[in-house]
Amino acid sequence: MKILANDGIAQSGIEALESEGFEVLTTTVAQEQLIPYINDNNIVGLLVRSATKVRKDLIDACPDLKLIGRGGVGMDNIDVAYAKEKGLHVINTPAASSESVAELVFAHLFGGVRFLYDANRQMPLEGDSKFKQLKKSYAGGTELRGKTLGVMGFGRIGRATAKIALGVGMKVVYYDPFLEKASVAVTFFDGQSASFEFSSLTKEEVLRTADFLTLHVPAQKEYVIGKEELAIMKDGVGIVNAARGGVVDEVALVEALEKGKVAFSGLDVFESEPQPEIKVLMHPRISLTPHIGAATGEAQDRIGTELAAQIIALLK
């Protein structure tokens, strides 16, 4: 049986599948060529990340397809309900990349409070001629310790982010309409652990309370953070979005940055991805990464082996 990993898969996943007799193809097929490629090559399993779309037309046009897998959490690029109606298995790896995304959130937060997003732009240009001026410009940093992190969405990634925050010494508050209470266990290198109990606040309470806000929600029809929400928040707040493009109103965000309402933002995802708006890309107070939240070697290994295990269980 042939599996097409159209957006790639870790070698660990390939080896696990091949050991069970599957043939794994890692050719990246253009979206418009995907249907004929699947049919011509008798593909039974299609694995994607966020780039490839699996919509009704593809599902209808590929009758031999038995399984669709998403290497990651969100499946908004797959017509999941329709695929299941047609009898296809639809799988993902919700736990495999949580820690990697959480660490990227804190990369943006640590970089934000110490102006690294701008210092790394200016130092190569003027570090030799304006060292003292740059030192003065970036001297008013802020510590994360003792501040409040607001978490929008307290699923696996939200809780993984909370763990780091607790380890840093931050207070954590969250809003999740589907999770009234949650327990978070922070484990340490020597086997010790500490557990923390949380209850969801209202969205407005989190917005008013947070010194920094991080979003961990699926794609939405409307903005989670728009003009109204920004107006509620503290002056000088920092906002990180490593969830999905379109959950933050980027026009309103840029306006809030210009007015000083928002001190900085970290964006790993974008409304018009894969072609983010120039105003966002060029803004001096936005820390930028190109949708790499789950792109660590460790996470990709976990994703590959987890996908392989599910495919073997379902198709063998």
Give the active site residue among 70, 159, 244, 283.
244
CA distance 93 to 203: 28
Active site residue 291: yes
Which of these is catalytic: 49, 159, 216, 291? 291
Residue 42: name the closest of 62, 28, 18, 57 by CA: 62
**How many other C-beta atoms are found inside a 10 Å radius of the C-beta of residue 231?**
11
Of the residues 23, 103, 255, 273, only one is catalytic, namely 273
Could you confirm whether 273 is annotated as catalytic?
yes
The residues assigned a catalytic role are: 244, 273, 291
